[in-house]
Amino acid sequence: MNGAESLVKTLVASGVEVCFTNPGTSEMHFVAALDKVDGMRAILGLFEGVVTGAADGYGRMAEKPAATLLHTGPGLANGLANLHNARRASTPIVNIVGDHATYHAQYDAPLESDIKGFADPVSGWIHSSTNAKTVASDGARAVAASMEGEGQIATLILPADTAWLEADQAAAPLDSVGLSAVNGEAIDRVAKLLANGKKTAILIRGTALKEEGLREAGRIAAKSGARLMCDTFTPRIQRGAGRVLVDRLPYFAEQAEDDLKGTEQLILVGAKPPVSFFAYPDKASWLSPKDCDITYLAHPHEDGTAALAALAEAIGAPAEPINVAPYEKPDMPTGPLDQFTIGQVIGHLLPDNAIITDEAATSSLGPAIATATAAPHDHLSLTGGAIGMGLPVATGAAVAAPDRKVVCLHGDGGAMYTVQSLWTQARENLDVTTVIFANHSYAILNVELARVGAIDPGPKALSSLDLHNPEINWTQLGQSMGVNAMRAETTEEFAKCFAACMNEKGPHLIEAII
């Protein structure tokens, strides 16, 4: 067996079942090894941002890493923006980045580049293999590293000769550290704080935003009256009927500051203190009130769900949580097609246990309101602000959860960054329905232009934010890549299209003209 086969065997033995690939010459032995070893599904993306974004979506849902296969420094570079998002989502990912043969690096051939340099800003673990006989053990270490704490990105650089030379054997899986146990002192301290009568908010992030953690938080709220909150952008939150409702922090700094006004103590569970997404002249970056006490119940690498459960017990919380969302589907709407009517249609028709990926930007409020009491679902958002995650994350989520409907809500501007995702959805016949909010604009930037104080914008500035010239035909674009794409200009048309998509498996796209 060669190094590549020893590595693929090791990855499979370590629980890695899927490899999202965009290979080149240096990765051909790894590609060939995918057939020689059973148990690894290979899914091709036509651009590396698709590959890494899909690995992010997969990891968020599967709670274990997919591998990526990327071609040297530039291939990794094309995937970095979605790796940035994945880093902010604490998603476990194992990147396999092919490199020139070890002895070839000295020649500075055209593709030679500083791969470690590219990888460093997004990776929690980086290693470049030096020998075919150690590649397997490097792979086992990479998988374990990816599962450390809440999850992180492990990048294994694989020089071509370490893939093609003879290896001895696969490596046994390594234990990984995972989330750390509850900190008893923190439980005691926060239990006391909850009894001090101060106005309290609990800000939650990470796996504690799944049903189980939310139930514990709802029990704590029932006993203490604390407000439950989550960040504007969370890697994954379980929402809808039967789930404890939490308040999502508003996006704009001044609204968030206003929302937090009067909060006397803030308890953090896997979250960091709220700060504004961007800085603005004369607006705050730090959003909590100046005199608000901030306490960590659980740091991001600690088990937030267990911490909430322990806290609930410590304060003698009742068995049943409060703020449980009822099952109240919005009525089917009438009126002009906009983010609110679209949201109502989605909320009305969403099947049980769907997954929503959300990069709808200025159009995400409508669907968020309408789905709060819709059928239970998972919601995945843009954690790192790097545009172009919605389509690939939907792609990877659909691979991780083949029996669940995936609904991808996307602004038209953002969807262009990784539009090649549609081809992979078609190729793998993934059950993803993409809704493109076609406002032909970087609408968020029209808002931001004024907010940063750029008064009286001229024609060049306005033109830089306007996508009307030419208007992208999303129906044609989706169809060109094999996706069943359709156009909706009225609420009735959208409702008809979306109902059809919910009733039929496979990739669909609706161009919603708003």
- Please identify which residue in 6, 14, 78, 441 interacts with its own copies, judged by CB under 8 A: 78
* Residues binding its own copies: number (CB under 8 A): 99
Q: Pick one of 276, 357, 395, 433: the residue that binds its own copies (CB under 8 A).
A: 276
The full DSSP string for 448-504 is HHHHTT--S--HHHHHHTB--SSPP-HHHHHHHTT-EEEEE-SHHHHHHHHHHHHHS
Stretch that binds its own copies, among 179-187, 237-245, 269-277, 371-379 (CB under 8 A): 269-277
Which of 12, 81, 144, 310 is the binder for its own copies (CB under 8 A)?
A: 81
Q: What angle do CA 487, 491, 497 make, to 5 degrees?
A: 45
AA letter at 38: D
453 touches its own copies by CB under 8 A: yes
Alpha carbon distance 84, 142 (integer Å): 18
Calpha distance 187→193 (Å, rounded): 10
Judged by CB under 8 A, the chain residues 4 through 33 that form the site for its own copies are 21, 23-26, 28-29, 31-32
CB of 46 to its own copies, least distance (A): 4
Q: Which of 169, 255, 334, 464 binds its own copies (CB under 8 A)?
A: 464
By CB under 8 A, residue 324 contacts its own copies: no
Which runs of consecutive H residues, i.e. helices, occur in 113-152? 115-119, 135-146
In angstroms, what is the minimal distance from the CB of 268 to its own copies? Answer: 14
> Does residue 463 touch its own copies according to CB under 8 A?
yes
Q: Is 109 in the site for its own copies (CB under 8 A)?
A: yes
Based on CB atoms, which residue is closest to its own copies, 100 or 141? 100
Q: Which of 384, 390, 392, 396 binds its own copies (CB under 8 A)?
A: 384
Q: Which residue, 29 or 243, is less far from its own copies as judged by CB?
A: 29
Question: Residue from 314, 322, 332, 449 that binds its own copies (CB under 8 A)?
Answer: 449
CB-neighbour burial class of residue 369 (10 A; exposed 0-12, middle 13-18, buried 19+): middle
Q: Which stretch binds its own copies (CB under 8 A): 170-178, 345-353, 365-373, 383-391?
A: 383-391
Q: Which of 106, 107, 103, 96 is nearest to 158 (CA)?
A: 96
What's the token pair of residue 484?
């069943």
Using the contact rule CB under 8 A, the part of the chain among 215-223, 317-325, 331-339, 377-385 near its own copies is 377-385
Answer yes or no: are the C-beta atoms of 431 and 406 closer than 8 Å: yes
Q: What region, left, alpha or beta, does residue 237 occupy, with left being phi > 0 and alpha being psi -120 to 50 degrees? A: beta
Q: Which of 74, 242, 250, 506 binds its own copies (CB under 8 A)?
A: 74
In the complex, the smallest distance separating the C-beta of residue 194 from its own copies, rounded to whole angstroms, is 27
Least CB distance from residue 233 to its own copies, whole Å?
6
Longest dimension (CA), the chain: 69
Q: Does 77 participate in binding its own copies (rule CB under 8 A)?
A: yes
**Cis ω before 74 (30° cut-off from 0):** no
Q: For the chain, state the CA radius of gyration.
A: 24
CB of 466 to its own copies, least distance (A): 9
Q: CB-wise, 50 or 435, nearer to its own copies?
A: 50
Q: Which residue of 192, 198, 261, 272 would you call a contact of its own copies, by CB under 8 A?
A: 272
Site string (402-441) toward its own copies, x via CB under 8 A: -----------x--xx-xx--x--xx--------------
Among 111, 332, 369, 500, contact with its own copies (rule: CB under 8 A)? 111
- Binding to its own copies, residues 131-160 (CB under 8 A): 160
Q: Which residues contact 121 (CB under 8 A, 6 or more apart)?
A: 80, 84
**Min separation Cβ 464 and its own copies, Å:** 5
Q: Cβ of residue 505: shortest distance to its own copies, in angstroms?
A: 16
Which of 105, 172 has the CB closer to its own copies? 105
Measured CA to CA, the distance from residue 137 to residue 5 in angstroms comes to 12
Residue from the set 124, 130, 210, 278 that interacts with its own copies by CB under 8 A: 278
The footprint of its own copies on residues 172-231 (CB under 8 A) is none
Residue 197, exposed/middle/buried by CB under 10 A (0-12, 13-18, 19+)? exposed
**Alpha helices of 225-269 — where are they, by DSSP H?**
253-260
User: Which tokens in the block code for residue 140?
Assistant: 């086992």
Stretch near its own copies under the rule CB under 8 A, chosen from 196-204, 271-279, 353-361, 362-370 = 271-279
Nearest approach, Cβ of 378 to its own copies (angstroms)? Answer: 20
359 class by beta-carbon count within 10 Å (0-12 exposed, 13-18 middle, 19+ buried): buried
Distance CA 344, CA 338 (A): 10
Q: What is d(CA 71, CA 113) in angstroms, rounded to the nearest whole number?
A: 11
332/467 with CB nearer its own copies:
467
Q: Which of 87, 67, 47 is nearest to 391 (CA)?
A: 47
